[in-house]
Amino acid sequence: MEIKIRRAVKEDCPRLLELVHELAEYERAPQEVTVALEHFIESGFGKEPVWWAFVATLHFTGADSPSLKEREFEGRAVGFALYYIRYSTWKGQAMYLEDILVTKEMRGKGIGKLLFDRLIEEAKEKKFNRIIWQVLEWNEPAINFYKKYNTQFDSEWVNCSMHV
């Protein structure tokens, strides 16, 4: 089995939204996903994109003996990492990792690591000074994954938002 990491293309958007919905289910907030496919596509592939993403896809060779579940995912996105540029008046541009997800059936195969390593490479190429993201305090599998990267966890700042 070969796992390929590539830049997302417009045609990936329906599958990416499926994965976003899977993430929302996992995070116990399925009703919170309200973005329309058209808006999602325009935001990533319109005249002025505001997000970029990498996708992970599975590919098999003739020597492989994939399970039926793995065969179901052949050539399709089984994971993604979506980011945008965040600006700090103190530190300059940073990569903000909005979402990273590997579909439940494909976890434990190193796909998350491949995606995260590709994000690090991208951040270095674009000369961002850091990568920033959030993780839910109860999401121990994700927290343990991030700890492998010597991540700094910040309990000082409080998240804020308001609807307009």
**Domain 2-147 carries which CATH code?**
3.40.630.30
Backbone φ, ψ for residue 155 (5° rounding): -100, 5
Confidence of residue 61 (pLDDT cuts 50, 70, 90): confident
Catalytic residue among 26, 87, 96, 146: 146
- Examine the residue annotation and report whether 84 is marked as an active-site residue of this protein: no
Q: What percent of the chain has pLDDT over 70?
A: 99
**pTM as predicted:** 0.92
Count of CA atoms in the C-beta half-sphere (13 A) of 65:
0
> 3-state DSSP helix/strand/coil percent for the chain, to nearest 5?
35, 25, 40
Which residues, other chains included, contact 21 with Cβ-Cβ below 8 Å and sequence gap of 6+? 30, 33
Domain ranges of the chain: 2-147
- What 3-state DSSP class applies to 138? coil
Cα 106 → chain centroid: 14
In this prediction, residues 60-88 reach a mean pLDDT of 86
Instruction: State how beta strands 131-132 and 92-102 pair.
Output: parallel
Q: What is the mean pLDDT of residues 75-101?
A: 96
Q: Which helix (H) or strand (E) holds 54?
A: strand 52-59
